[in-house]
Amino acid sequence: MKGGVFWNNTMRRKIIPYNPVLKERARLLRNNSTVTEIMLWRCLKKKQMCGFDFHRQKPIGEYIVDFFCNELMLAIEIDGMSHSGREEYDKKRQKDLEKLGIRFLRFDDDDVFFNLGKILDEIESWIKKQS
């Protein structure tokens, strides 16, 4: 992957290059989603969240984020067991992606599972503050 963020002038949206090797890995992650990823995805897909288009397991740069909205430049991450012991990697990853202008919302796996309504309210509130 080379370069940074590019603008598609005809559609006025940012195009963020990614390492093509990640495309297959992202497909595998989508096909093996966790319960909480499935729960949240059911509420984000098809522009259900304030009319914004989200993608899941989206390759960006050298990384893959759980959910991403290009228009908002927003990544949503669910931190579960797979993140245990990887806190430093996650910090570096987030910092690298923030350099591209991406903002993050992070939620704990248990919070998504037991308090999905609260999580959806937090996402909606964040979006409304950006508008």
List, in order of start, the domains of the chain with CATH numbers: 6-130 (3.40.960.10)
The residues near 31 (Cβ < 8 Å, ≥ 6 apart) are: none
Q: What is the pLDDT of residues 38-94, one digit of tens each?
A: 999 999 999 999 999 999 999 999 999 999 999 999 999 999 876 567 889 999 999
* pTM across the whole model: 0.88
CA neighbours within 13 Å on the CB side: how many for 33?
19
Instruction: Give the pLDDT of residue 80.
Output: 85
**C-alpha pair distances (Å), 13 with each of 8, 9, 26, 42, 44:** 6, 7, 22, 25, 20
State the amino acid at position 35 in one-letter form. V
